Structure 1
Amino acid sequence: MIKILIVDSHPIVRTGIDLLFKTNVDIEVVGGIASGIEIFEFVRRHQVDVIISEIDLPELNGITALRAIKKEHSAVKVIMFSHQPEEIYAISTIKAGASGYVHKSSSVEVIKEAIKTAYGGGIYLSHDMEKHMKFHDTKNVKSKMFKKLSTREVEVLRLLSIGKKNKEIAEELDINEKTVSTYKARLFKKLNVTNLVDLIHQAKHNELT
């Protein structure tokens, strides 16, 4: 039986996924927690095969937690389960070590398929995302914008877009403020802007946040 851990700050999401698998013979929910920080202690104390985690978590965001958990427990598979745009965050999270990306608008069957794919050692992406990767239209501005950005740059951009200051971003991503400033400078250059207001506008216009 595949043992899964749900990580989401919303109790209704944790409860909902738990209820989905109450009678399932292949998948068992062994826990539900609300923050990235709690993952480490839980995994040390319990057997977990697959973690289903939101990106936007309190204290420690999902991508940062993903990187850390893969270093400490490489056998544990992580599926990112988020409302964030798949075409922007799916590849970003896969690069960071995720075994799949499922949008929160997906069906129950998709969630089950993603869990089984990850548990079997594969990478789960939606059919639309796979088509997007295979038949990428070079005229698609949003895709070209994304391809310019690294995983860390996407994280910094997202945090800047919700009003986080350099110090807050540094604390959340566990990097120093100078590094945050370096990422900001790269973002200005890659997105061809000269100030923070234009940077955020450009990001939202192209759905990068």
Structure 2
Amino acid sequence: MAKILLVDSHPVVREGLKHTLTNHTEYEVIGSLSSGVEIFEFIRENDVDIIVSEIDLPELNGITALRAIKKEHKSIRILMFSHQPEEIYAISTLKAGASGYLSKNAGTDKIIDALDSIRQGKVYLSEKMDKHHRYTDTAKSKARLFKKLSTREVEVLKLLSIGKKNKHIAEELDINEKTVSTYKARLFKKLNVDNIVDLLHQAKHHDLT
């Protein structure tokens, strides 16, 4: 039986997932958390096989948490379960170490499909993501733009988009402020802007935040 930890800031989402998994005896939900920072203490004190986590979490975003978890707990598999556009964020989360990405628009049967794949050591992506010919032209354009960005650049961009200053970004990502400035400069160049307002506008326009 695989032991599951659910992480989402919305109780209704966690309860919905727990209810879905109740009918599947191969899975046991052993924890339900609302923020990224709570994950680390929980996995130190409990044996967890799979974490199902949202990207947008209070205090510590899901991608940053994912990266830190995989450094210390390589055996834990992580399914990102998010409302963020999968053609953009699936790539980033897999780069950071996730075992799969599932949109919150997916049906409950897809949740089980994703967990089954991950439990078997496979990487899970939706059929749409697996088959490139199903992408819309817009999705292709977004994906091409996103592939220019490193996982760390995406993390910095997301933190900038919620109003974080360089100092706080450096603290959250455990890097120095000079490095944050370097990432910002790269983002300016890659998104073809020369100020923070235009950067965030471009990011929002392309659904990158």
Q: Considering the TM-score relative to the shorter chain, is it more than 0.5?
A: yes
Paired residue for 1:199? 199
CA distance in 2, matches of 1:136, 1:72: 38
CA distance in 1, matches of 2:133, 2:195: 31
Paired residue for 1:126? 126
Q: Deviations over 1:127-182 (max 9, x none)?
A: 11112389797994322211111011111112212222222222222222211111
For the Cα contact (< 8 Å) 2:81–2:102, is it kept in 1? Answer: yes
Paired residue for 2:181? 181
Q: Can you give the 5+ residue segments of structure 2 that lack an aligned partner in the other structure?
A: none
Q: In the superposition, relative to structure 1, how do residues 51 and 178 fare at CA in structure 2: closer, same or farther (>3 Å)?
A: same
Q: With the length of structure 2 as denominator, give the TM-score of the two structures.
A: 0.92
Paired residue for 1:166? 166
Paired residue for 2:12? 12
Matched positions, count: 209
CA distance in 1, matches of 2:135, 2:83: 24
CA distance in 1, matches of 2:108, 2:124: 14
Q: Secondary structure at the match of 1:84?
A: coil
Q: Secondary structure at the match of 1:79?
A: strand
Shift of 1:71: 1.6
1:25-40 pair list within 5 angstroms: 25-40=25-40
The residue type equivalent to 1:72 in the other structure is E
For the Cα contact (< 8 Å) 2:156–2:180, is it kept in 1? Answer: yes
Paired residue for 2:49? 49
Q: With the length of structure 1 as denominator, give the TM-score of the two structures.
A: 0.92
Q: Say whether residues 1:82 and 2:82 are aligned partners.
A: yes
Query: RMSD between aligned alpha carbons?
Result: 2.0
Percent identity over the alignment is: 66
Tell me which moved more, 107-116 or 128-137.
128-137
